[in-house]
Amino acid sequence: MPQPLFPSYTIGHFINQPANPTEFELMRFETMAEPEVEDLHRHTFYEIIWVDAGRSRQTIDYQEYQLSPESLFFISPGQLHYFEEWEPLRGGSILFTEDFFLLNQQNKDKLFELSFLDNFYANPLLTPNSADFSEMRQTIELLDREHHRPDYVPTIAQSLLHVLLAQIQRCVNAQLDRQTPQRYVIQYKLLKNLLDKHFADNQPVHFYASALHITPHHLNLVCRQVTGQTASDVIRARSILEAKRLLTFTDLTVTEVASRLTFMDPSYFARVFRTETGMSPAGFKQTMSDLYRL
């Protein structure tokens, strides 16, 4: 089994208590200690960053985003996050695990219904209007107060977190000017989970459709509704994302990366990679190694 390319951190690492099994934290940038984590890392939890003042850059899986006042930013488990400067910011961060979100919930699909989480196609940066942001900030303040009460009740904090996430989803839906049916979002998230397990197998659309007990035609419909892409596009993008990571953070050759992702023809892999990224694998490796592997 290959070693992980970069570390995965729990919430405890971000409060500099790695052994702490906490499943929920709320921290303000103005008072938080700098976490002892590597700049490049993965989370095992969800994180919502809100910005009251200041600006920052955040990078997730090679995509850079500019955070500005009255914006929110979402990080999901497994995504490659580049830790940027945060000291000039006013705002904070809400960290929670899947188990905390689902605490005492009968409907285990509830988390999957949130389209802005667990989605490598969704824009993780949200800039609501001032009224919506103010409403979300009120909920965050209630959540903060509950979290710091001496008689703190996790189920109350969880309920307030659900309110906040519902407010965010409403805002996301309004900005998209449409609402994707929840059943499609859930099926897409199930596809994403399968992709995270099988991306290296180079499996076709019908493999994933069969695993989800739906037809390839319906899987294409789901992907188009959620991402605007075909199922083949989504599958290929997940494979290319892993290729980017391997090219950046390992010493594997282009041929070895192609083989690890079950592309038996390295020249075909190179053509697919160039189509997706606009760069050759070798050119990408050199550029990213200069940037990330100092």
Model pLDDT for residues 246-291, shown as the tens digit of each residue: 998 888 999 999 999 999 899 999 999 999 999 999 999 988 877 7
For the question of whether the overall pTM of this predicted structure is more than 0.75, the answer is yes
Pick from 28, 33, 35, 34: which is nearest to 13 by CA? 35
**CA-derived radius of gyration, the chain:** 20
pLDDT of residue 1: 38
CATH 1.10.10.60 residue ranges of the chain are: 182-292
Domain with CATH 2.60.120.280 in the chain: 8-176
Residues whose CB is less than 8 angstroms from the CB of residue 194 and which lie 6 or more positions away in sequence, other chains included: 208, 211, 212
Q: Is residue 292 classed exposed, middle or buried when 0-12, 13-18 and 19+ CB atoms within 10 A define those classes?
A: middle
Any idea which architecture 8-176 has in CATH? Sandwich (2.60)
Within the chain, which residues score under 50 in pLDDT? Answer: 1-2, 294
User: What whole-number distance in Å separates Cα of residue 203 and Cα of residue 77?
Assistant: 23
> What is the rounded CA–CA span in Å between residue 81 and residue 62?
9
Q: Residue 236 to residues 10, 97, 200, 218, 277: CA-CA distances in angstroms? A: 29, 28, 10, 18, 12
Report the candidate in 85, 91, 94 with the shortest Cα–Cα distance to residue 34: 85
Measured over all CA atoms, what is the biggest interatomic distance in the chain, rounded to whole angstroms? 62
> What CATH number matches the domain at 182-292, 3.10.100.10, 1.10.10.60, 3.40.50.300, 3.40.50.620?
1.10.10.60
DSSP string, 2-33: PPPSS-EE-HHHHTT-TT---SEEEEETTTPP
Report how far residue 45's alpha carbon sits from residue 48's, in angstroms, rounded to the nearest whole number.
10
Residues 6+ apart with CB under 8 A from 22: 11, 12, 15
Model confidence pLDDT, tens digit, residues 33-52: 888 777 778 899 999 999 99
